[in-house]
Structure 1
Amino acid sequence: MTPLIPLPRRFERVLVIAAHPDDAEFAFGATIARLRDEGVRVSYLVVSDGAQGGEDPDEPAAELAATRAAEQRDAARVLGVTEVEFLGFPDGLLADNAELRLSLARVIRRHRPDLVLTHQPLRSLQFPIGASHPDHLAVGQAALNAVYPDARNPRAFPELLAEGLSPHRVAEVWVPGHEHTDLLIDVGNTAERKVAAILAHRSQFRTSTDPAADVRWVVDRMLGYGKLHSCEYAEAYKRIVTDAAAGPGPVLTVAS
C-alpha cells in the first residue's frame, strides 16, 4: 500500500457517534478504515433508529429500522468495524437533552476512547443542507457536552458511578470540517472502501438507477481535499483537542 501522511498522534480506541445509519460512512468512512488498518479499535454508536430514512410512507417503521440496522452492520464490516451499538432514539426528533447526554456519557465511559468522531454541532451555510440535518446538530452538540464535562466529571450523572463507570477524559474530538476545516487526513488507501461501505446501505438507493454515480460527489470531495494535502484522497475535519497534553491543533483553514 502507498505510504500515508501520518496522523497527528497515535490513537488506541476510537468511538464514532452518529445520528443515523450511514452517517458514519458518509462523514468518516475512509478515516475509519485507515484507523482499523493501523490496528486502532473502532466502535460505532448510532443514536437514532433510522426509521425516517425511506421514501415509502407505507413501509412499517419497525421494518425499516431493522433493515437499516442490518445495513449499518454490513457497512461497518466493510471498513473493518464489528462493534456497532444502537440507542434507538426516534429518528428526526433527536435533541441535546439530559437523556441523550446521559446515554452518550455512559457509552464514552464504557468504551473509554481517546478520540471521538461525531457530527459538526454548527449549521453550515456553505455546504449542502443535508450536512446540517437537525439530528446531526443535536448529536454533535450532545456528544461534545458528553465529552466535556459529563464523561470526565464524577459529579455528572452520579448513577454512572453506581453502574461502575468511572470518569474518562477523551483526548480529542473530530467533526466534519465544513467551513471550519483545520485537519486533513490522508485516506489514499481506503477511499474506495468508503464508497463500498456507503453503497452497503442499499435501502437508501432503492429508487436509484446508478447508485455509484449518485455518490460520485463523495469521491470528488476526497479528491479535492487530497490536492490540498498533497495526497490522492483526504477527509476534512475540525480537530478539537480537549487534552492539553496532546498539544495545540493545526492551523490549516479550508473552506469549500
Structure 2
Amino acid sequence: MGDRTAQGAVEMLTEPDYEAMVIGAHPDDNDFGTAATCALWASQGKKVVWVVMTDGTEGSEIPSQSDEELMLLREQEQRAAAEVYGIKAVEFLRNRDGHLVNNEDTRRAVVKLIRKYRPRVIFTHDPTSHIMAPDPDEKPDATGYLNHPDHRATGNIVVDSIFPFAGNPRSFRELLAEGLQPYRVHEVYFFGSTQTNTYVDVTESIDKKGQGLMCHKSQFNPEDNERMAERMRERAAAVAKDAKEKKGLEMRYAESFRRMKLHIPPAPKEETAVPAGSEE
C-alpha cells in the first residue's frame, strides 16, 4: 500500500451511491439468487443495479435459433423482470455464454461499473461452490448438481475486481480520465453458497420474485411458469426454516447469503456542544 498523502495521490472513495449491485452470469441468475431481497430493498427506496455478465445465448433447447435473436429476447425478459422488482438500472456485458473467463477485459468491465455506481453491497455467485450434492447413502433418491463454470468465473471476476482493482488508483488508470475514481465496496453477499450465514426476511416481497421469474418465458415450460410463484414460496419457506434452526430467526419466507464485510465506515463524530454565552 502506498502513501495516500503523497503528492499526486488519488483518493479512494468510500461513500456509496447505490445500495446494491447484483452481478450474475446469465439472465435470470440474479432473479433466482436475489430477486426478493432486491424487490424489498427497492420498495424501501434503496437504489439497486443489476449486471448480467454473458449474452445468455446457450440458454435454449433450439440449436437453430440465432444467437442475436436469443440474446435480445433474454435481455428483454430481464428488463421486464427488473421492472417487476422496481430495479431501474440493468447493465448487459454480453460476454459469450458458456465461455466466460476471468481476464483483463472482464475485470476491467466490472471495475468500471463498480466505480460508476459505487454500490455499498455487491451480490454475486459464490466462486467456491463447485459441487452441490447430498450423500447418496443418506439420500439415495436425491440428485446433486455441478455449479455452472460461468457462475464460478463470475464470482472470481467480481472478487478480483472488488480487491484489489476497484480501489487501486494504479489499476486501469484510463478509467480516471473518465472520472471514475477508485472505490471501496463495503460488503459482499454471495448467493448459491453452501456456507450461508445471513438471512433476509422477504415475506413482503416473495410473490414479486415469482412474478418476475415468469418474465423469463424462454427458459421455462408453460406449466413450470404457472407454478413459479408457488415454487418460490416453497423454496423461501425452506430457507426460513433453516434460518430458524441455525439462527433462531422467525421468518415466514427468506433468502440466504454468505455475507462478508470489507469496510466499516467510522462512526460519525459527535458535535461538541458550545457553552451558552461563549463565542464561536
User: 1:149 & 1:141 partners in 2: Cα distance?
Assistant: 12
Partner of 2:235: 221
Residues 219-241 of structure 1 deviation map (CA, whole Å, 9 limit, x = unaligned): 32210121223110000000021
Structure 2 residue 161 is the aligned partner of structure 1 residue 142: no
- Kindly report the root-mean-square deviation, in angstroms, between the aligned alpha carbons of the 2 structures: 2.0
Which of 96, 101, 109 is matched with 1:95 structurally? 101
DSSP-derived class of the 2:157 partner: helix
Contact 2:38–2:85 (CA under 8 A) maintained in structure 1? yes
Q: Which runs of 5+ in 2 are unaligned?
A: 1-15, 134-143, 268-280
Partner of 1:85: 91
Which of 239, 244, 247 is matched with 2:259 structurally? 239
Partner of 2:145: 129
Which of 31, 35, 42 is matched with 1:36 structurally? 42
User: 1:210 & 1:220 partners in 2: Cα distance?
Assistant: 14
Q: Which amino acid aligns with 1:71?
A: E
Partner of 2:68: 62
> TM (normalized to structure 2)?
0.79
Q: Which amino acid aligns with 2:202?
A: V
User: 1:164 & 1:210 partners in 2: Cα distance?
Assistant: 46
Contact 1:47–1:86 (CA under 8 A) maintained in structure 2? yes
CA shift at 1:142, angstroms? 0.5
Residues 85-134 of structure 1 deviation map (CA, whole Å, 9 limit, x = unaligned): 1111111110111111110000000001111111111124336426x111
User: 1:90 & 1:215 partners in 2: Cα distance?
Assistant: 30
Which of 22, 29, 47 is matched with 1:23 structurally? 29
DSSP-derived class of the 1:14 partner: strand
DSSP-derived class of the 2:23 partner: strand
DSSP-derived class of the 1:237 partner: strand
Which of 164, 178, 199 is matched with 1:163 structurally? 178
DSSP-derived class of the 1:230 partner: coil
CA shift at 1:176, angstroms? 1.2
User: 1:218 & 1:187 partners in 2: Cα distance?
Assistant: 11
Q: Structure 1 216/199 Cα, relative in aligned 2: closer, same or farther at 3 Å? A: same
DSSP-derived class of the 1:21 partner: coil
Structure 1 range deviating more: 156-165 or 146-155: 156-165
The structure with the largest alpha-carbon Rg is 2
Contact 1:124–1:178 (CA under 8 A) maintained in structure 2? no
Q: Which runs of 5+ in 1 are unaligned?
A: 1-9, 248-256
DSSP-derived class of the 2:61 partner: coil
User: 2:233 & 2:122 partners in 1: Cα distance?
Assistant: 24
* Residue pairs, 1:98-113, within 5 angstroms: 98-113=104-119
User: 2:130 & 2:233 partners in 1: Cα distance?
Assistant: 20
User: 2:266 & 2:26 partners in 1: Cα distance?
Assistant: 30
DSSP-derived class of the 1:67 partner: helix
> TM (normalized to structure 1)?
0.86
User: 2:101 & 2:224 partners in 1: Cα distance?
Assistant: 34
- Identity over aligned residues, as a percent? 36
Q: Which amino acid aligns with 1:178?
A: S
Structure 1 range deviating more: 225-234 or 91-100: 225-234
User: 1:55 & 1:177 partners in 2: Cα distance?
Assistant: 24
Number of paired residues? 236
Structure 2 residue 205 is the aligned partner of structure 1 residue 190: yes
Q: Structure 1 49/246 Cα, relative in aligned 2: closer, same or farther at 3 Å? A: farther
